[in-house]
């Protein structure tokens, strides 16, 4: 009997001891970057009813919170202007956790599918040249492993790593070049959280209730076909990879995705707006959202990619969003993964520098179509975001097609006059509609004087699938 009682007591002591120990989520650890000049959340688990005390070495001011009856706690502390390294002490009766090398700066989420995931190990161009000079104590990476879950999780695996030749190899190339430019231009620590998974549609990154409570998005999601390389069910990646991070304060998000949604392009803009709003609700902050328009690629059908690009352009009307156009950044239209992520990251960074940090960036928005006028037998096209005018990098401007009232697309002769494009075809006496770069594999031929490619567009609303290009 004594043996049994002793065993029960020992078991109870182990249980109490384990519950009394503080535990933190993986994202809150030594080496992390906390958002500067903010009221940031720190949270974890412990023995219910106990007090948790937190003190940061930047001000040595202690804050306390009581662990709930569910064994959870969350406390907000104020962070100073960017700097570090600092020490953070988190303690409760009988336990103390000391976090060292904590930096205060700007934290960004990087997410999407394979083009965001692409790294040195995937053959990302120019990363090899970065490795000898990669070490930068003011750039930190947190890599979220691929995780799908039917229910929102409260933690992920992973740890913060200083950017060096080893940690860079497996990290997002787009994220790195984005963060490198921010760190250089702002001269503050940069924290980058990469949560991406190749081949995944946007539905898996969206909280499932946001999809299932919307009949249009629910119907579109039902059309997604199961694939061997990743989940397609709404919410699975959000639950496993983003939900555990929504209490971690971030400055904003960058996104590179869309290739997996070309088959359901018609609802993509609505899907993206819904996902962005859901993220903002979960983070309880109107986080800026900057994304990459998919690159030209031969999807097999002539217009699916172009129609997805069109939907991405529409998403720019959503508040606090911005889109990077990369129709000039491909190796080949047969490669869905353009290898050079340098310029992509820089263009994303310029959006953030201009919009978030109010830096004087001369040009960060690609020119976009404004209006079209028929002047005799020509179309005169005007554009926004071309303050110094437009230019062509090649002698022949390609990718411009025009049509009259009756659909018959003809390749246009094109002339650039300052910030205007003049388009005509001798066979067409009264042109009405125009398309530029509107095709899966069409690359940029018109640029702003600052070198940013004109965003693909069309002025008609005909069924694109039934209108093959006329040569």
- Same domain? 45 vs 137: no
Helix ranges (H only) for 56-146 are: 114-117, 127-130
Query: At residue 465, what are phi and psi to the nearest 5 degrees?
Result: -60, -25
Domain's final residue, options 68, 84, 102: 102
How many domains is the chain partitioned into structurally? 3
- Same domain? 385 vs 453: yes
- For 282, half-sphere exposure in the C-beta direction (CA atoms, 13 angstrom radius) is 23
- Same domain? 125 vs 273: yes
Question: How does pLDDT run across 165-208, given as a tens digit for each residue?
Answer: 999 999 999 999 999 999 999 999 999 999 999 999 999 999 99
Instruction: Name the strand (E) or helix (H) holding 291.
Output: strand 289-292
CATH number at residue 109: 3.40.50.1110
Predicted confidence at residue 41, as pLDDT, reads 98
Residue 13: inside a domain: no
As beta bridge partners, residue 365 has none
Q: Tokens representing 372?
A: 């079209």
Question: Which residues of the chain fall below pLDDT 70?
Answer: 1-20, 465-471
**Cα 24 from Cα 33, distance rounded (Å):** 15
Predicted confidence at residue 21, as pLDDT, reads 84
Domain's final residue, options 33, 68, 102: 102
Looking only at the bridges linking them, the beta strands covering 446-448 and 390-392 are antiparallel
- Same domain? 201 vs 326: yes
Domain's final residue, options 102, 128, 153: 102
Question: How does pLDDT run across 342-375, given as a tens digit for each residue?
Answer: 999 999 999 999 999 999 998 999 999 999 999 9
- Same domain? 342 vs 408: no
Q: Which domain holds residue 27?
A: 21-102
Residue 55: inside a domain: yes
Residue 12: inside a domain: no
């Amino acid at each position: 009997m004594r043996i049994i009682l002793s065993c029960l007591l020992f078991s109870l002591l182990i249980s109490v001891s384990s519950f009394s120990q503080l535990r933190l989520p993986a994202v809150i650890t030594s080496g992390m970057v906390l958002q500067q000049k903010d009221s940031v959340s720190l949270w974890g688990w412990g023995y219910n009813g106990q007090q948790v005390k937190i003190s940061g070495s930047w001000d040595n001011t202690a804050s306390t919170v009581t662990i709930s009856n569910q064994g959870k706690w969350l406390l907000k502390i104020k962070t100073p202007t960017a700097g570090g390294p600092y020490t953070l002490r988190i303690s409760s009766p009988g336990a103390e956790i000391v976090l060292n090398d904590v930096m205060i700066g700007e934290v960004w989420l990087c997410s999407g599918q394979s083009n965001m995931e692409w790294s040195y190990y995937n053959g990302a161009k120019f990363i090899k040249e970065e490795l000898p000079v990669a070490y930068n104590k003011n750039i930190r990476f947190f890599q979220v492993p691929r995780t799908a879950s039917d229910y929102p999780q409260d933690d992920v695996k992973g740890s913060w790593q200083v950017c060096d030749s080893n940690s860079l190899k497996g990290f997002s190339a787009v994220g790195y070049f984005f963060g490198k430019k921010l760190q250089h231009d702002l001269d503050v620590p940069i924290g980058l959280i990469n949560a991406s998974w190749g081949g995944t549609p946007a539905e898996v990154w969206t909280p499932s209730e946001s999809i299932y409570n919307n009949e249009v998005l629910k119907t579109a999601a039902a059309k997604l076909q199961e694939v061997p390389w990743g989940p397609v069910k709404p919410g699975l990646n959000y639950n496993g990879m983003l939900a555990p991070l929504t209490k971690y304060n971030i400055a904003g998000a960058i996104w590179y995705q869309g290739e997996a949604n070309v088959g359901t392009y018609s609802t993509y803009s609505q899907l993206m707006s819904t996902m962005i709003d859901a993220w903002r609700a979960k983070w309880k902050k109107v986080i800026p959202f900057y994304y990459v328009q998919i690159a030209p690629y031969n999807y097999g059908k002539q217009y699916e990619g172009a129609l997805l690009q069109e939907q991405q352009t529409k998403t720019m009307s959503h508040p606090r969003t911005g889109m990077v156009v990369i129709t000039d950044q491909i190796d080949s239209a047969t490669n869905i993964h353009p290898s050079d992520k340098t310029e992509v990251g820089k263009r994303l960074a310029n959006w953030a520098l201009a919009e978030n940090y109010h830096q004087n960036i001369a040009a960060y928005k690609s020119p976009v179509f404004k209006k079209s006028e028929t002047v005799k037998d020509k179309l005169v096209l005007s554009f926004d975001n071309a303050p110094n005018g437009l230019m062509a990098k090649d002698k022949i401007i390609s990718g411009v097609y025009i049509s009259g009232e009756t659909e018959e697309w003809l390749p246009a002769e094109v002339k650039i006059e300052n910030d205007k494009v003049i388009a005509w075809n001798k066979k067409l006496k009264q042109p009405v509609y125009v398309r530029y770069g509107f095709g899966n594999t069409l690359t940029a031929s018109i640029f702003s004087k600052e070198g940013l490619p004109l965003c693909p567009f069309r002025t008609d609303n005909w069924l694109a699938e039934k209108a093959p290009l006329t040569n």
